[in-house]
Structure 1
């Protein structure tokens, strides 16, 4: 495959990545043919995947706005992906121009595109790092230079924790981020689940195994345990469209078809 001019030299263009697949499903242009080819396979086997991506992006918007309404004006976005339209800094700074955002991703294309997009934005930066390397993320000069850890922070892990490798303990990783957050901080996540008993979820897991980022789906109880140390905000752990919907139409007749559980918690 010929390497596009905008692609970083160290990026793997021979195997699809989760960040670039997500960009493809959202209609973005920062993906390669290898991503589009696998994306088309996924769409054929699990037609609900593009809807999952859009529902997840809508949940991200609602969660950020909720945190803003509670006085949070700084955000740490783990596994942020390629910053297509409607990303955290746009949502937050539309309400509060002084809101600050640190994006974290291990996908070079995501970080390179973020750097270009944010070069004139002093209140938003991107870090190339793996979220499981919490010491690097939390201690990074960009993180410490932009976020004030004496005030509440909005921690976001939206559609990313199911991509952690099987040998990584997500609860131990999250415990380190929880420890670093001041009281009054918020944590939002979304996570693919196998509780829906859907063939589509099985197909998604099977096909993502061909990418750089295999998926591990989890049940509701396991996802709820990720909020250890946080008090869940109503309505608790629910399917994506059910968390603070903006209208009844947004929920639809089958919210479980979102294939994911979401929630927001506040640090005690």
Structure 2
């Protein structure tokens, strides 16, 4: 208890709460109304590097905002320190918002953070966000499931705990399943060669989607055998999702009509939406 400050427990008769919020893929229009309502009441906000500035600006202006972002080999704070901050501010009676990119329960360590919170008797609320796989596939026009192509979808992390590579390729051989790789762009060549060596058809359609759902989104389409070479030339930036499976072939069928891939999708000024007379009464009624 001492590491969180015993004085917080002694001087504060009311414990705060922790609200674990998925900020989605970066497009503020994809944030849920429930998330916005809670963010508007936040007193402390711990946010990650994948939370866009537009979404961060939707938090209460009076909230203390603390950056705790983690990117590959570059962590602002270790996970243990993030856990400590959540507990410390909640024990001080604050409304604490933990703002994470995507969905906190899909490769977001949300479960680990809540384990620490409940160990200290703190109540929490978990608010889902649109995970990057859904946002990337939807915006690009790649259905993750389709009755004629894929009857299931699997989300896979390219790295295990402590950065160890995930080489369990034998579990990814089903051609009727779509596979989405998170955090795999830096291992693309190694992964594609490992999949082929394990028996996956080298002509399996493969996509890289960078900056999912944002105006800067880029899509690269190839096959398991050539996507690494394409990426070596194209150099799409992170964050990026990798999608493997026959559904990727539908990208070309849809691309000529998909406003998202044509760069003609509308991105609305969120400040104007939130302040509109039509929306505000509805938001206030659920506050």
Larger radius of gyration: 2
Q: Going by fraction, where is strand more abundant, 1 or 2? A: 2
Question: The TM-score by the shorter chain falls in which range?
Answer: 0.3 to 0.5
- TM-score normalised to the size of structure 1? 0.33
TM-score with structure 2 length normalisation?
0.31
